A and B are shown apart, each in its own frame.
Chain A
Amino acid sequence: MLILAWRSIWRHRTRSIGAAFAVGFTVWMGLAYFGLTNAIRDGMYVNLTDTVGHAQIHVRGYRDIRDFREAVIADAAALRRRLDATFPGAQVAAALEVPTLLSGEDRARGVLLAGLDHPPALRDRFAAKYVREGRLPHPDDPDGIALGGALARTLQVKLGDTVYAYAPGTDGTGASAYTVVGILHFPDPTQDARSALLSLPAAQDLAAPGAVSRFELHVLEFRRTTDDAALVPLRARLQDALGRDVVVETWRETYPSLSNLERSLRPMLVFFIGLFFVLAGLLVVNTIYLSVIERTREFGVVIALGARAGLVMRMVLAESLLLCTAGAAAGLALGLATVARLARGYAYPGSWGDVVEAYGLPRVLYASIGSADIAIIVAFVIGIGVLAALWPARVAGKLEPVEAMRFVA
């Protein structure tokens, strides 16, 4: 039956090649889109996890706590020791966030002052990405502060100016003066208008000696969304080691909206690829239907010789699937080669690259494709192969042998 189907396809070479090309092009495009989208998802993943860590440790119930004193891990040093014992050599960052009134000479704003202690590699990456002027405060700097660009403009301060922080009702000094050592730029305007960064010791001195709001665990080997599967057992291990006073969350649990944003890319992509397959499928329907009409007399003879309707329909189905498979095989080979090339790294040219960077993605992205992506493409190919054959097969299956043998196109 397959040989018969193959011969039928080649009877009208141009039309069949056109339909197979449409299927192949769609497969190639689908694979390329998957590759490029995975590159963006992985870029987002690296960007997000660089900023917030792969897992975070907070005081249990921290989301519902509004009192600053209760929202912090009081004995941060002890917890850090347990963390280091559980994951020796882990990249751990610590942050203390203090609701503060920050004032320049004349203007003031309420901000969330963040005291940060990042491992050197993450600190350098953060600085390279966000510092626009000056530098970040040094890890033990008691006086330096870096401000978001919009916040600096609001407070009307520049590098070298003094800003004043007031954090009442806390256990630290409650008020302190800092020198602006850096101006940052965050793509998110809200973050740019509310960000003020200190060294961790400076923030602790201001509001909560020895305390942190959270620890972040950074797993530098995890650079792809597919690496996330390993986070769940890691979180469970950490939770067991650190006890019930704190809660360990993966970044997806801490920032569900960011996680959903990252996850929403894939369903959207599948939907659009599906639309392209529908368009390609229309060409296949056209090809198979015309082929059936042109061979009406042949089908009449086959039916007159005793072939049942089911066999005739299977012949049409085989022709459609073979046409789609031939196109898909070429598209698959070309698509995988394209993704393999882009997997070595690529950058969008000119201002497109600037746009990518403005959204916080790395300039150089790396395409990738998973077996699930390929399975989706193959499923689409089989799907359109079957669906495109349904109507022509039904037409062929219903032919009356005598009328069919007399048919003149």
Chain B
Amino acid sequence: MGLLLVVLAVSAAQSAPDARAILRAIEDNHRGGSGRFTVVLTVARPDRRTEYVLEIWTDGEDRALVQVKAPARDAGQAFLRVGDNLWIYTPRLKRTLRLPPSGRSESFLGSDISYSDLAGRDAEQDYTPRVVGEDEAAVVLELLPKPGAPTPYGKLVVKAASRTYAPLEWTFYDQRERAVKRITFSEHSRIGTRLFPTRTVVEDLLRSGYRTTGAFRDTHFGVPVPDACFTLQAMEQGCE
């Protein structure tokens, strides 16, 4: 009987999902690997709606170059993230500005996403995950910030498809455990072994009518992106 209990305990431990591995798999799907694509970013407010067309190059890890193609008044702006460093290029000034670490959580182009959402794997880097629920359809992780992590949030709840770990929904909570932001992922597209969400909706849960939608089109995943794309020169000249 004792032996049976030990065997059951060991097998249960082996089949228990490893929260870190799940989070890594979710992030792998979320970032989609290296490639180049176009995103139509629609920033909706109660009284207006602004549409940006962005061209993005990424290595699928912590490097990404974003160029604004439209509207005309913002065209030419570029954003480069390499690890924890983030630069902004504005054609009006014809120069790059380096964003301080404290500015990473600031709004990107007045939308509901932040600069730190542009690339990188901040969730893995800054949070400690644990599995809080799992059924046939979905697995739910709770992410608590590591001590000293540069994040304004008190908790993240991440929901992903059970077997594929395709991201479904991220909910951000403030320090008072109040849900403040929700990102919903849909229209997943298979890219190699990954299930990449080609439609992302970011909702401000504290203000109705505040929503940012990102629709991916013209995606070229799996193509190698040269290192030259992730340089300050590429911000001005582009990465063709």
B40 within 8 A of A: no
B92 touches A101 (CB 8 A): no
> Within the assembled complex, what's the spacing in Å between the Cα atoms of A68 and B43?
14
A168 CB-CB contact with B under 8 Å: yes
Q: Which of chain A's residues has its CB closest to B95's CB?
A: A164
Q: A108 at the A/B interface (Cβ < 8 Å)? A: yes
Query: Complex formed: what's the CA distance from A358 to B110 in Å?
Result: 39
| Residue ID in chain B nearest A170 by CB atoms | B110
- Type the 1/0 row for B93-108, where 1 means its CB is closer than 8 Å to any CB of A: 1010111101100111
Determine the residue in chain A with the shortest Cβ distance to B47.
A70
CB distance from B33 to the nearest CB of A (A): 28
Contact B45 A101 (CB under 8 A): no
Known: A101-B88, A164-B93, A175-B93. A108 touches B100 (CB 8 A): yes
Q: Which of B97, B108, B207, B210 contacts A166 (CB 8 A)?
A: B97
Chain A residues with CB under 8 A of B231 = none
CB distance from B118 to the nearest CB of A (A): 13
* Residues on the A chain within 8 Å of B103, using CB: 101, 108, 110
What is the number of residues of chain B that contact chain A, defined by CB distance less than 8 Å? Answer: 24
Alpha-carbon distance between A174 and B109 when the two chains are bound, in angstroms = 10
Cβ A176 vs Cβ B93 within 8 A: yes
Q: In whole angstroms, how far apart are the Cα atoms of A108 and B109 in the complex?
A: 18
A113 to B150: give the CA distance in the assembly, Å: 24
Residue A107 lies at the interface, judged by CB distance under 8 Å to chain B: yes
Q: Are B90 and A67 in contact (CB under 8 A)?
A: no
* Residues of A with C-beta under 8 A to B108: 168
Measured in the bound complex, the distance between the Cα atoms of B176 and A361 in whole Å is: 39
Q: Does B171 contact A (CB under 8 A)?
A: no
- The answer for the CA separation of A110 and B99 in the assembled complex, in Å, is 8
Contact status A103-B109, CB under 8 Å: no
User: Which of under 10, 10 to 19, 20 to 34, or 35 or more describes the interface residues of A?
Assistant: 20 to 34
> A103 touching B98 by the CB < 8 A rule?
yes
| A contact residues around B73 at 8 Å (CB) | 174
Interface 0/1 of B80-91, CB less than 8 Å to A: 000000001010
Q: What's the minimum C-beta distance from A128 to chain B, rounded to whole angstroms?
A: 33
B110–A108 CB distance below 8 A: no
B93 neighbours in A (Cβ, 8 Å): 164, 166, 175-177
CA–CA, A176 and B95, complex, Å: 11
Out of A106, A107, A166, A170, name the residue touching B88 (CB < 8 Å): A166
Q: Is B74 an interface residue (CB 8 A)?
A: yes
Tell me, in angstroms, the Cα distance from A75 to B126 when the chains sit together: 44
Q: How far is the CB of A206 from chain B (nearest CB, A)?
A: 10
- Closest A residue to B97 using CB positions: A103
Inside 8 A of A108's CB, which chain B residues have their CB? 97-100, 103
Residues of A within 8 A of B99 (CB): 101, 108
Closest chain B residue to A68, Cβ basis: B110
Do the beta carbons of A169 and B100 come within 8 Å of each other? no
> Which residues of B are found within 8 Å of A103, using beta-carbon distances?
97-98
A395 to chain B, nearest CB (A): 61
> Is A173 among interface residues, defined by CB-CB distance under 8 A?
yes
Contact indicator per residue, chain A 168-195, by CB within 8 Å of chain B (1) or not (0):
1110011111000000000000000000
- Nearest neighbor of A105 in chain B, beta-carbon distance: B95
B110 neighbours in A (Cβ, 8 Å): 67-68, 168-170
Nearest residue in A to B46 (C-beta to C-beta)? A70
Interface presence of B111 (CB below 8 A): yes
Query: A110-B103, A168-B109 are contacts. A174–B90 as well, Cβ < 8 Å?
Result: yes
Residues of B within 8 A of A224 (CB): none
Contact B109 A169 (CB under 8 A): yes
Residues of B within 8 A of A109 (CB): 100, 102
Given the complex, which residues of B lie within 8 Å of A67, measured CB to CB? 45, 110, 210
Distance of A176 Cα from B103 Cα, bound (Å):
19
Nearest B residue to A164 via CB reads B93
Give residues of chain A (152-168) contacting chain B, Cβ–Cβ below 8 Å.
164, 166, 168
A110 to B109, CA, bound (A): 15
| Docked-complex contact B92 and A174, CB < 8 angstroms | yes
- CB contacts (< 8 Å) of A107 on chain B: these are 98, 100
Interface string of B34-46 (1 = CB under 8 A from A): 0000000001010
Q: A99 vs B90: C-alpha distance in the bound complex, in angstroms? A: 17
Name B103's closest neighbour in chain A (CB-CB): A110
Quote the shortest CB–CB distance from A196 to chain B (angstroms). Answer: 14
> How many Å from the CB of B40 to the closest CB on chain A?
17
CB neighbours (8 Å) of B45 from chain A are 67, 69
Q: Which residues of B contact A (CB under 8 A)?
A: 43, 45, 73-74, 77, 88, 90, 92-93, 95, 97-100, 102-103, 106-111, 207, 210
14 contacts between A and B (CB under 8 A): A67-B110, A101-B97, A101-B103, A101-B106, A106-B98, A107-B100, A108-B97, A108-B98, A110-B100, A110-B103, A166-B90, A169-B111, A174-B74, A175-B92
**Residues of A in contact with B (beta carbons under 8 Å apart):** 66-69, 99, 101, 103, 106-110, 164, 166, 168-170, 173-177
The 4 closest A-B pairs by CB, nearest first: A169-B110, A175-B90, A103-B97, A175-B92
